[in-house]
């Protein structure tokens, strides 16, 4: 499932190439036809992420009439970008061609990022015909964004968006909480629920998915089954601060690199090779990189959890 850094990068991509432009909004698949009709022809004025939620504003000339497209990618959702595709960060490494000022290939942003379609040097017709099950198509004069397979896709009012943000846990990259660190610490340490489950609760902290959850807990050397109330405040504060840094790095590069102590060469390998990126996630039965103990795997609240039984006590 795409985690918080990916949704922020999608919002940045939309901001770079579609915000400020009127958009033809359609639903080639047909499942979002009524919602698309409400947004069609409006100017896209804002794209933002709150954790795993993507919010795109469409202006009708009156703030009270602004409507928002809310998208949650879920397990299988992704956005395909065509036409003018700008580089969203100076250190974008996941898709090397994203910096081209006028690119006629497609870039898919979902669980990871990669170029799709032929790379024969030719410039295909723009806009391309929809291929497959496209739930929503956002088309401007020069850029196109196609949404496929989201878990949620709906039109919201400004009041709906305000309520959604108010119910969400703090996101380090969103200025919506007076003291996001204090809020995160309070919510992590207020309940008996296992901290490994709390970190995945989007009302506690926004944006953390299964990979970041496993890696944050390993980096803190914290047993994921520890009740939140038993997590020392300093450790909870450290989890938040580590999340701030990891999220920023993921947004900058488009890649989740969570292993500690990598030198420049090791980081380069990790950016290029998924198997070099994580200490515990996806490594069940393999030796811990710190102590050699086999990495454990179990289900927690319906999601697979990875941890080191020796380091995380």
19's CB contacts (< 8 A; 6+ apart) are: 44, 45, 46, 47
Give the Cβ contact number of residue 266 at 10 Å.
13
Alpha-carbon distance of 282 to 160, in angstroms, equals 37
Alpha-carbon distance of 246 to 249, in angstroms, equals 5
| Residue with tokens 């030719």, as numbered in its chain | 122
DSSP class of 287: B
**What tokens were used for 40?**
């069609």
Residues designated as active site:
2-3, 52, 303
DSSP class of 22: B
Q: What is the dihedral of CA 137, 141, 143, 149, to 10 degrees?
A: 0
CA distances from 185 to 106, 134, 188, 232 (A): 41, 40, 5, 10
Alpha-carbon distance of 297 to 304, in angstroms, equals 7
**What tokens were used for 297?**
């795997």
**What tokens were used for 311?**
């380091």
């Amino acid at each position: 499932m795409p985690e918080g850094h990916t949704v922020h990068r999608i919002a940045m991509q939309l901001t770079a190439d579609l915000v400020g432009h009127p958009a033809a909004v359609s639903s080639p698949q047909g499942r979002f036809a009524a919602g698309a009709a409400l947004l069609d022809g409006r100017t896209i004025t804002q794209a933002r992420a709150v954790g795993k939620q993507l919010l795109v504003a469409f202006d009708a000339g009156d703030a009270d009439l602004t409507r928002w497209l809310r998208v949650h990618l879920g397990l299988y959702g992704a956005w395909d970008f065509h036409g003018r595709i700008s580089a969203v960060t100076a250190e974008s490494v996941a898709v090397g061609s994203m910096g081209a000022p006028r690119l006629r290939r497609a870039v898919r942003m979902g669980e990871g990022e990669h170029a799709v379609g032929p790379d024969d040097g030719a410039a295909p017709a723009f806009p391309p015909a929809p291929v497959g099950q496209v739930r929503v198509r956002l088309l401007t004069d020069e850029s196109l964004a196609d949404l496929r397979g989201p878990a949620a896709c709906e039109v919201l009012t400004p009041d709906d968006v305000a309520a959604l943000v108010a119910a969400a846990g703090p996101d380090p990259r969103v200025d919506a909480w007076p003291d996001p660190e204090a809020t995160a610490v309070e919510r992590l340490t207020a309940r008996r629920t296992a901290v490994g489950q709390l970190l995945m609760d989007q009302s506690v902290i926004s944006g953390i998915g299964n990979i970041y959850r496993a890696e944050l807990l390993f980096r803190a050397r914290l047993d994921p089954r520890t009740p939140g109330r038993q997590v020392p405040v300093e450790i909870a504060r450290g989890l938040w601060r580590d999340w701030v840094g990891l999220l920023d790095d993921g947004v900058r590069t488009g890649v989740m690199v969570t292993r500690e102590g990598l030198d420049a060469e090791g980081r380069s390998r990790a950016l290029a090779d998924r198997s070099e990126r994580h200490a515990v996630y996806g490594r069940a039965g393999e030796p811990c990189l710190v102590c050699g103990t086999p990495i454990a795997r179990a289900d927690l609240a319906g999601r697979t959890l990875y941890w080191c039984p020796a380091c995380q006590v």
